[in-house]
Amino acid sequence: MSALVRRELSLRRLKLPPNPKVRVGIAIFVFFALLALLGPFVVQNVMGLSPSDVDTSQAMELPSAKHLLGTTATGEDVFAQLVVGSRISLLVGLVAGVITTTLSVLVGVAGGYLGGRADSFLTAATNVCLVIPGMPLLIIVASYVQGRGGWLTVALVIGLTAWPWGARQKRAQTLSLRHRDFVSAAEMTGESRWGVITRELIPSLAPIISVSFLGAVVGSMFADAGLSFMGLGNINITSWGSMLYWAQNGAALTRGAWWWFVPPGACIALIGVAAGLINFGIDEISNPRLRKPSKEVRARARAARLHAAAGGSAAEATAGKPAPVQEAAS
């Protein structure tokens, strides 16, 4: 393969999907990723704001040029808290999502492919974890930990309690692929079991794994916010969840301080919307019938229909010899 062809293929892989919903979802994700990566530095070192500085003389101020999103009951800047807290919230979501997806893929795909005693053991372990209610277990573990270990402990607790449903889903999909020709061909060529799982089955399950990863990230962020809102997370770390906790603790809703609790809630909701929009693109990849044809294909099909209506053959029209519209209409 020439270098030119390889470069063209890599450019095609980097090309954004044509679906505008997917582009909007990716744009929202990129925006929040940049906000979490660069935002704290800009806010603290360029704008000179701090998420923890207390100034009671400026308590509960409305959004203004000095405080873009107002202040809290103790005079802390809400905009600084929102930007700095985005890093913690996204880190918890990403790490917990990676743990959840990795465990569900390993348990589900390995059990579905290996079968026998290994499948029985892994399925029994998954069912035991499914029987235990996830949210109460999460609350009990978080209550015991009490935020010790920082955001990483919260991410571990969420990730280790959220994988069973994903494992069941991936086991079912693996069972449907277990006896396909490409799996049998790999086994006949001497591929090891680990090689079949990692080189044949997991790539075939990539759309499902991607969807479950996005869902795990968003679900983990919701869980983190919920734990912090109940005071079970580390409320001393600035995150969107701890912002909601302190807003509830300061009676922001009854005092009409919407600028205190709306921004973190809106950011969490936007992350969920972005994940849903990106799922449209993943669905189109896994199901070709959902793909919308390109403008060029639609134009050629329209020309073919017009040419066929004028008495010509569709093959001539799609072979680069479409009849002019005026001529076909006549």
- Backbone dihedral region for residue 234 (phi beyond 0: left; psi -120 to 50: alpha; all else: beta): beta
Question: What is the rounded (10 degree) CA torsion for 135, 139, 142, 146?
Answer: 160
Question: pLDDT per residue over 140-170, tens digit each?
Answer: 777 777 667 677 888 888 888 888 888 988 9
Other CB atoms within 10 A of residue 283 CB: 15
d(C-alpha 96, C-alpha 152), whole Å: 9
> At 32, is the pLDDT very low, low, confident or very high (cuts 50, 70, 90)?
very high
37 has pLDDT over 80: yes
pLDDT of residue 236: 79
> At 323, is the pLDDT very low, low, confident or very high (cuts 50, 70, 90)?
very low
306: which 2 tokens?
Answer: 């017009």
pLDDT of residue 31: 94
| Residues 220 and 97 sit within 8 Å (Cβ to Cβ) | yes
Question: pLDDT per residue over 194-251, tens digit each?
Answer: 888 888 888 888 888 888 888 888 888 888 888 888 877 777 788 898 898 899 888 8
- Write the DSSP string, 279-311: HHHHHHHH-GGGPPPPHHHHHHHHHHHHHHHTT
d(C-alpha 177, C-alpha 279), whole Å: 22
| Claim: this prediction has a pTM higher than 0.85 | no
263 has pLDDT over 90: yes
pLDDT of residue 329: 42
pLDDT of residue 326: 47
d(C-alpha 270, C-alpha 272), whole Å: 5
pLDDT of residue 48: 85
Question: What b-and-e string marks burial along 210-228, b requiring 16 or more CB atoms within 10 Å of the CB?
Answer: bbbbbbbbbbbbbbbbbbb
pLDDT of residue 28: 92
pLDDT of residue 294: 66
pLDDT of residue 312: 60
DSSP-derived letter for residue 58 is G
- What is the residue-averaged pLDDT of the chain? 81
pLDDT of residue 15: 64
306 has pLDDT over 90: no
pLDDT of residue 327: 45
> At 107, is the pLDDT very low, low, confident or very high (cuts 50, 70, 90)?
very high
| Residues 259 and 78 sit within 8 Å (Cβ to Cβ) | yes
pLDDT of residue 313: 56
| Residues 137 and 161 sit within 8 Å (Cβ to Cβ) | yes
- When pLDDT is averaged across residues 259-279 and rounded to a whole number, the result is 89
pLDDT of residue 318: 54
Q: What percent of the chain has pLDDT over 90?
A: 15
pLDDT of residue 300: 79
- When pLDDT is averaged across residues 163-187 and rounded to a whole number, the result is 88
> At 38, is the pLDDT very low, low, confident or very high (cuts 50, 70, 90)?
very high
